[in-house]
Amino acid sequence: MKFNKISIYFSLLISTMMFFSPANADFNDGWVAFTNEDFKTASREWKPLAEKGDAKSQTNLGILYFNGKGVLKDYKKAIFWLKKAAEQGVDGLILVCAGAGGHAGTLSPFALVREVREFFDGTIILSGSISSGSAVASSLALGADLAYLGTRFIATEEANADQGYKDMLIDSVADDIVYSSLFTGVHGNYLKGSVVNAGLDPNDLPEADKSSMNFGSGGNTDAKAWKDIWGSGQGIGSIKDSPSVQTLVDQLTSEFKEAVEDLNQKSTY
Ligand SMILES: Cc1cc2nc3c(=O)[nH]c(=O)nc-3n(C[C@H](O)[C@H](O)[C@H](O)COP(=O)(O)O)c2cc1C
């Protein structure tokens, strides 16, 4: 399966990875403004290009609308521009839904997959809180083609993460996740325990300064996102151990098969 450069991430999530970087001079003006966090200028540069049909500008403008950066937050306009870009030959879309680790969206996968399916028949990859074989099977039942797991693989032998981070993933459940914009300026999901360890109250975090957006690490606190404040999706209740990746994949495979069998049986009701 081939994915071209246009791989749009629908969600409130934004990261530098998701935006298209420069390819031509005009587009580059918007990109320079964007990297300087001058989102107004970025949107002004990209809008005429988007209107002329430039897929990268359409994508980036759509994401700005999703996040209300440089423009008023407008979900309909975001979908409008992302659809325009998708119509130009996107092979696949990654839908980062509510409960995903890192900079997550807030939309339910039940809502988003169906909505996207209405206008897109390419490959849909679903992500957010998927940590078990049954969740992978559920993603396919929902209409996605593939599932994308992030957090689950942090608790593996091979992952180059702090042992404390892995232990906290094993010991925590969905309610131990806080959704906050404090650490990078963009909302993301984090382990409350790591927030407590940084001397903060996860149940009383201020909103980030709207003008500050730093995907790498926050300028809002001394504690640094990713290093001290540990990102995690909500699908951690099923994480009970930190096995090798091979063992985990085998386990996911057998859970997946079991879930499909279960669903087959239930479908005869
Ligand atoms: C600690 C952490 C850091 C992440 N950083 C990025 C990132 O820099 N760019 C990105 O596009 N997604 C990032 N993600 C999101 C993942 O790509 C993926 O969408 C997400 O982990 C899926 O949800 P799950 O963690 O609930 O499985 C990150 C996720 C985690 C847990």
Q: What is the pLDDT of residues 57-79, one digit of tens each?
A: 999 999 899 888 899 988 899 98
Q: What is the pLDDT of residues 229-249, one digit of tens each?
A: 999 999 999 999 999 999 999
Asked if pLDDT for residue 123 goes beyond 60, the answer is yes
**Per-residue pLDDT at 211 exceeds 70:** no
The CA distance from 260 to 133, in Å, is 9
> Of 101, 17, 112, 25, nearest to 60 (Cα)?
17
Q: Whose CA is nearest to atom 7 of ligand 1?
A: 15
pLDDT at 17: 35
pLDDT of residue 251: 98
First to last CA, the chain: 36
Residues having CB within 6 Å of any atom of ligand 1: 15, 17-18, 96, 100-102, 127-130, 148-151, 226, 231-233, 235
Who wins on pLDDT, 168 or 227?
168
**C-alpha triplet 166, 169, 174: angle, nearest 5°:** 170
In this structure, what token pair is assigned to residue 56? Answer: 């990268």
pLDDT band at 220 (very low <50, low <70, confident <90, very high): low
pLDDT tens digits, one per residue of 162-172: 999 999 999 99
Best residue among 13, 96, 108 to mutate for probing ligand 1, ranked by most atoms within 8 Å of CB: 96
Higher pLDDT, residue 219 or 149: 149
CA-CA-CA-CA torsion sign (249, 108, 17, 232): negative
pLDDT grade for 40, boundaries at 50, 70 and 90: very high
Q: What digits encode the pLDDT tens for the residues 156-207?
A: 999 999 999 999 999 999 999 999 988 888 889 999 999 999 999 999 888 7
Taking CB atoms within 8 Å and a gap of at least 24, the contacts of 140-143 are 141/263, 142/109, 142/110, 142/113, 142/114, 143/113, 143/114, 143/117
pLDDT bracket for residue 90 (50, 70, 90):
confident
Atom 5 of ligand 1, nearest CA residue: 102
- Ligand 1 pocket test: pick from 10, 11, 14, 17 the residue with the most ligand atoms within 8 Å of its Cβ: 17
Between the CA of 102 and the centroid of ligand 1 the distance, in Å, is 4
